[in-house]
DNA sequence: GACCAGGGCGGCC
DNA sequence: GGCCGCCATGGT
């Protein structure tokens, strides 16, 4: 079988057709990286670091610690076949969408039956969703879903609430600088020593209280051991934590726990959904449920292509 | 100066 | 259970 990567001299070599490092880092799934110049990046994950250089036909990952090669192979999801995932997404057709029971979609808290005309409009807009998705896959062709550290993902996406990517990055770097050691992401123990006022002072705003609370809640919790819990229970547990609602939980499940059948719905995905289906007034939770019904195990990648496309193109 | 950013919480019904 | 106002901060 042809591998996605080769290893020489403790470096990982990946064809650019397999990984587009710019798209993968800048598509909004991760915040702790630095672009050092046009084709160079430094990626930080928990207490690990790697350098990335993009040359003509390939991208070269150099782990800071040669013992951590496998960590980065897993991090960049290099054993997964994205051509196959994209093929399956391209093959999604109207049949999948027509399986949806649109008659039971609640609008403004009433279970409205959708009229014939509205159904026609919806079918037209279903095609629009497929068209957007096709464009989005082409636009973000080299995106891979990263498998990130769970604790770092939790803290990062609590910060992300009603926030913009640049400020999220800034806050997370300050955390590495002022709470962690050696610019590593802070451990739970290090975070627990700081209080609400400290988090406010470094710019977390009203999310400061959530951070203080969740550190208390996570004391003595082994996050990695939660991987085997069934999806619904795990999501319920995450939502029970301070600062985590349905959307942040979905992001943690996707980017931290590697669960594929979740569909985080933020403002951008909501815009895509509304413009595609023409249905206004659904909660983001409901939109997420509908999209998971459509995309199933392809939800994670579909969501990321759509988010990157919508956010970069500033779709309305 | 209003509006927006990868939303969540608490209060109210 | 669903809806709504509020929550910090920095950028357009």
**A113-128 confidence digits (pLDDT tens):** 455 555 566 677 777 8
The whole-angstrom separation of Cα A227 and Cα A305 is 25
Query: Which positions of chain C lie under 7 Å from any protein Cβ?
Result: 2-3, 7-11
**Tell me, in Å, how far CA of A262 is from C1' of B13?**
31
* Reported pTM: 0.94
Q: How many helices (H) and strands (E) does chain A have?
A: 15, 8
Quick one: what percent of chain A has pLDDT higher than 90? 82
Cα A188 to chain centroid distance, Å, stands at 22
Residue A163, CA: closest nucleotide via C1'?
B5
The answer to whether residue A8 scores a pLDDT higher than 60 is yes
Instruction: Return the CA Rg of chain A.
Output: 20
Residue A203, CA: closest nucleotide via C1'?
C9
Stretch among A16-20, A45-49, A92-96, A179-183 having the lowest mean pLDDT: A92-96
Looking at every residue in chain A, the average pLDDT score rounds to 92
**Tell me, in Å, how far CA of A249 is from C1' of C2?**
20
Which residues have a Cβ under 8 Å from the Cβ of A157 and sit 6 or more positions away? A244, A248, A251, A252, A255
Write out residues whose CB is closer than 7 A to strand B.
A 27-29, 157, 160-165, 167-168, 206, 210, 239, 241-249, 251, 264-269, 303-304, 307, 311
User: What pLDDT shows up at residue A78?
Assistant: 98
Mean pLDDT of A237-241: 98
**Tell me, in Å, how far CA of A227 is from C1' of C1?**
29
């Amino acid at each position: 079988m042809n591998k996605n990567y080769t290893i020489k001299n403790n470096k990982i070599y990946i064809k650019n057709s397999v990984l587009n490092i710019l798209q993968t880092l800048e598509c909004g799934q991760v915040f702790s990286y630095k672009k050092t110049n046009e084709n160079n990046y430094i990626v930080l994950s928990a207490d690990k670091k790697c350098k990335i250089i993009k040359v003509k036909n390939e991208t070269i990952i150099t782990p800071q610690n040669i013992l951590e090669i496998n960590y980065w192979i897993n991090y960049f999801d290099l054993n997964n076949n994205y051509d196959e995932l994209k093929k399956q997404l391209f093959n999604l057709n109207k049949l999948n969408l027509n399986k949806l029971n649109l008659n039971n979609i609640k609008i403004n808290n009433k279970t409205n039956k959708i009229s014939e005309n509205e159904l026609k409009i919806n079918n037209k807009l279903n095609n629009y969703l497929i068209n957007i998705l096709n464009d989005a896959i082409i636009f973000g062709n080299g995106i891979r879903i990263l498998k990130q550290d769970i604790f770092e993902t939790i803290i990062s996406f609590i910060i992300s609430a009603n926030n913009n990517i640049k400020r999220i990055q800034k806050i997370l770097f300050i955390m590495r600088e002022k709470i962690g050691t050696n610019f590593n992401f802070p451990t739970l123990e290090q975070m627990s020593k700081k209080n609400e006022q400290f988090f406010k002072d470094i710019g977390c705003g009203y999310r400061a209280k959530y951070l203080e609370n969740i550190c208390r809640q996570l004391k003595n919790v082994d996050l990695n051991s939660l991987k085997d819990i069934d999806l619904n229970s795990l999501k319920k547990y995450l939502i029970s934590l301070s600062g985590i609602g349905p959307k942040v939980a979905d992001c943690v499940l996707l980017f931290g726990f590697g669960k594929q059948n979740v569909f985080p719905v933020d403002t951008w995905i909501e815009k895509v959904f509304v413009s595609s289906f023409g249905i206004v007034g659904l909660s983001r939770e409901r939109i997420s449920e509908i999209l998971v019904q459509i995309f199933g195990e392809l939800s994670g990648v579909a969501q990321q292509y759509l988010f990157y496309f919508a956010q970069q193109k500033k779709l309305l």
